[in-house]
Amino acid sequence: MKRAIASSGEQEDSLVSPVSGRAEYYLIYEDNKLVKTIKNPFVVGGGAGYAVAGMLINEKVNTVVAGNVGANMKIALEEKNVTVINISEKSVKEALVEVLNAKAKKI
């Protein structure tokens, strides 16, 4: 299973970003190990949510975690059967543990 977590920084102890389309980074986990860090190229400009959704779909993620996911991004991800989970005010690592323990809420 491949998961993408929106992050305010490039480290696992960074906070989950309160926004999705304009998150500074996405940390990509596969089999619960950090395998890639992506600096979001869509932070500036219009259509960030839709563009980020496409980027994450191309990365073949199954789940996206962020503090808030806009409607366009959510629709684009769900059309490709990507689960969207809302977690805020936690570190990326804490959010991953929550997802693994099924304590996180799908939105």
Residue 27: C-alpha distances to residues 6, 7, 46, 52 (Å): 7, 7, 22, 13
Helix (H, G, I), strand (E, B) or coil at 64: strand
Residue 106, pLDDT > 70, answer no
Q: Which residue has the higher pLDDT, 80 or 103?
A: 80
pLDDT value, residue 101: 86
pLDDT tens digits for 32-85? 999 999 999 999 888 899 999 999 999 999 999 999 999 999 999 999 999 999
Cβ neighbours for 90, distance < 8 A, ≥ 6 positions apart: 15, 16, 98
